[in-house]
Amino acid sequence: MADGPADRAAALPDTTATRPTSRDVARAVGVSQATVSLVLGDKWRGRVSERTAGAVRDAARDLGYRPNLAARNLRLGRTRTALLVVPALTNEFFARVYTGAASVAAEHGFGVVVYPAPDTGGRARDPFASARTALDGVIASSMATQALGSLHSSGLPLVMLDSDPADGTAAAHVNIDIADGMRRVAGHLLGLGHRRFLHMASSVRSWTFDVRAGALAETLAAAPGTSVRTVRTALAVDPARAATEAALEGPGPLPTAIVCDGDMIAAGACKAVRR
């Protein structure tokens, strides 16, 4: 007669019965479960001898024991997970930001989840039922705090990258010297003899682009005989190409130098110049 459902269930291996526990590790070494938790939680120094800590790690490895991180995080009220909010994933800059954040986070036992905001002008919604219960913090790159929506109001620690340092709502700001970079670009072009500039600027207004525009205008204003025309375009190759072509076909003398707000715009400008 064929096996019934109960017979088939009984035939399955009971993996939970063979899975090693912290009690098994403690029994193998002859220490308490609390000692095992201290060692495997890397909190043993000054409380457990190095010899005992080594024995616990060896026993855990030999038994194939792995701590239940989900249970530990629930007990501690932490998820060891940060959310990285970026305007888009199609831009290589933000891919590199994620790579760097994930690499550093991993060194500290954290994970990073990336979340592209719906669009650069919209508000980033909470992708979780509750960000506070799912995350330990938020990193936002090239965005304003008012665009972070419910993520900002969740009360989680917020670190802003490439954003206005005067915004005091973030726990920390990490910026590069954007103004100095643009001054160097303009100074280099002026040194080559250029005096007629076309600034292909982002149509998305942000602190970063405003700082670049201000530094460019300031540097050129200090050089006699210079002129600059600003044309705004989307941060994408095809719109930038079309906008640059239109600017180059316009009335008046052609510019001798084009300064772009980003790589995607520069790629479009190069296509326009070649055409």
All CATH 3.40.50.2300 domain ranges in the chain, comma separated: 78-174, 178-274
Superfamily of domain 178-274: Response regulator (3.40.50.2300)
Q: How far apart are the first and last CA of the chain?
A: 80
Fold classification of 78-174 is Rossmann fold (3.40.50)
Confidence of residue 5 (pLDDT cuts 50, 70, 90): very low
| Euclidean distance between CA atoms 86 and 139, whole angstroms | 9
Residue 268 or 5, more confident: 268
Smallest CA-to-CA distance from 265 within 201, 211, 213, 176 is with: 201
Residue 88 or 38, more confident: 38
- Structure-block tokens of residue 45: 């120094």
Query: Which are the contacts of 221, defined by CB distance < 8 A and separation ≥ 6?
Result: none
All CATH 1.10.260.40 domain ranges in the chain, comma separated: 5-67
pLDDT tens digits for range 95-139: 888 999 899 988 888 888 888 875 544 555 655 555 556 788 888
**Which CATH class, in words, describes the domain spanning 5-67?**
mainly alpha
3-state secondary structure 78-133: CCCEEEEEECCCCCHHHHHHHHHHHHHHHHCCCEEEEEECCCCCCCCCCCCCCHHH
For the whole model, what pTM was predicted? Answer: 0.63
The alpha-helical segments, DSSP class H, found in the chain are 5-11, 15-18, 22-29, 33-40, 50-63, 69-76, 92-107, 131-134, 149-153, 178-191, 207-221, 237-248, 263-274
